[in-house]
Amino acid sequence: MQTKTLKIIPLGGLGEFGMNCLAIRWEDDILVIDAGLMFPETELLGVDVVVPDISYLVENKAHVRGILLTHGHEDHIGGLPWVLQELKVPVYGTEFTLAYVEGKLEEHKMLDEIDLIEIQPKKKFTIGPFTIEPIRVTHSLVDCVALAIDTPVGVIIHTGDFKIDLSPPDGKPFDLHTFAEYGKRGVLALLQDSTNVERHGYTPSEWAVKPRLDELFSRTQKKLFFSCFSSSIYRIRIALELARTHGRKVAVIGRSMNESTEIAQDLGYLDIPPGLIINPGQLRDFPPEKLMLLISGTQGEPMSALSRAAVDTHKHAKIEPGDTVILSSRIIPGNEKSIFRVIDHLYRRDANVICDDGSSGLIHVSGHGSREEMRLLINLVRPEYFIPVHGDYRYLRQHAQVAEETGAIGGAIVIEDGDVLEVNQQQARKNGKVTAGRVLIDSGSTIDVVEDLVIKDRRTLSEDGIVLAVLALNKKSGLVERLPEVVMRGFGGSDITEPAREVVMRCLDSLSPEEKADYGVVKEKVRVELKRFIQKSTGRRPMIMPVVMEI
């Protein structure tokens, strides 16, 4: 009778959306699946990203054999630079995923320190007691895989993010056959993506957006701005094909969009005909009706290309009356205000703005499977134990209920970050907890572990102080009514208040009237300029809080 157990330990992503990270342990060997991040809530002042607390992995670093990546989205790979500071272990991923990882590690000057090992669907490899087979799945990103891991007590399958698309634009469909083969052989546990459990039916194929987009391309009389997630290679491919069909030249605008299209082209996921892409500096050489701008910034990020174009401060992307802007993406919860603010600015420019309102054809489809796809996969795999992953607790609970309703599983178990689930062929049970939680990261700082925001605020105030920049702006004219007040507390040494006021004034003077009317942009630009000036002058990184007063 098998008495040893396999331990499944989620460290992120079960109880929240984002920062997906899960450990699998057999005796003295640990595999890690994904190392993602999440973006902070608005109340986390000064925090740029949030990554999982990997104290458990650090305590057991001698036993960690590698990190397996399912795909290249930020919520699955974004935490790697911080995780790899603590764990110098090999990273396994598909070709496209590793191309994204290389860029991240190069940015953090870590590329030479880490072994990146390419994996391919249907090609098994072994790490310690584990034999892993990547299985092709479809998602909103290309080159995504599920992981079938053969352990001493049985096979567990982690789906990663998926939807079942049998005719994706790259011609590499979801591999239902391999999932079915594993189902025939017997699967101990299935860990399945819960993201869309509240959606009934099936998620449409990526091709479903093409008819509506084709119609929009055909009726657009002037310039066409097309914005989607820079990682949505399928969507970019469809947009480029339509641009070519409708006789439009394409300019790629925005750093992330440029990087993604270059990687996709290099790896053969985009076949761009010669002459289709033009340099942004050539936009003036073509009539508006012959142009499409593929532009990043679909979530209304303050400094993104689309946000700057919306307030007419982008060097190349000029939005003029009658231009059409297509936002081919979903609104990520928490981004509503910034997105609607950008849309407001677009309307001020008399642009035609097309969002995914669902009223007249699809311009965006999800990358996650809906309930019927979840049921289909569960019925194919027929696992002994079902474990929902990815999402808030209510999603995990609903997903467990959906799995139980199929009648194709032995039992469903809901676990959260830090739970230790012990599994073998006889039983599965929760047995204790490990440290799990969030690590708050300030851009440019070393890893800063805090368990409570209040503690972090107190530490920041005690060590580096606080800066209040009080700005008085005329609501109607946008003019600066009086000199800004800069209040500094917790600083020693020379008085830099007056130079700081001059920095704020120069920053305000550089803003356009439309930017001054957008207090979100004003605050962010003032914060960035003050942060740069104070860090250069004093070496301190205080909490900077711009306050705008309407006069």
**Catalytic residue ranges:** 193, 368
* Packing angle of the helix pair 519-538, 497-509 (nearest 10 deg): 140
How many Å apart are CA 241 and CA 276, to the nearest integer?
10
Q: How far apart are CA 421 and CA 458, in angstroms?
A: 36
The encoded tokens of residue 335 equal: 């981004």
DSSP letter, residue 484: P
Q: C-alpha distances in angstroms, 222 versus 6, 248, 292? A: 60, 10, 9
**Cβ density class 242-272: b for 16+ within 10 Å, e for less:** bbbebebbbbbbbeebbbbbebbeeeebbeb
Return d(Cα 460, Cα 543) in angstroms, integer.
7
Contact (CB, 8 A) for 71 and 367: no
What number of helices (H) and strands (E) belong to the chain?
A: 16, 26
CA count, 13 A, side-chain hemisphere, 485: 7
Number of residues assigned to the chain: 551
Q: Which of 230, 235, 253 is nearest to 307 (CA)?
A: 253
**Between vectors from CA 290 to CA 286 and to CA 291, what angle results, nearest 5°?**
85
Residue pair 192/166 in contact (Cβ under 8 Å)? The answer is no
Q: What is the SS3 assignment for 25?
A: strand
C-alpha angle 547/549/551, rounded to 5°?
165
CA distance 312 to 146: 43
Q: What is the DSSP letter of 208?
A: G
How do beta strands 385-389 and 189-193 pair?
A: parallel
Query: How far is Cα 448 from Cα 441, in angstroms, rounded to an integer?
Result: 6
Annotated binding site for substrate: 364-368
Contact 319, 224 (CB under 8 A): no
Residues of each annotated binding site:
364-368
Quick one: angle between helices 210-219 and 233-245, nearest 10?
40
Specify the amino acid at residue 77.
I
> Are 372 and 141 spatial neighbours (Cβ–Cβ below 8 Å)?
no
Could you tell me the two tokens for 328?
Answer: 């081919």
What HEC string does 301-353 produce? CCCCHHHHHHCCCCCCCCCCCCCEEEECCCCCCCCHHHHHHHHHHHHHCCCEE
Q: What angle do CA 245, 248, 249 make, to 5 degrees?
A: 125
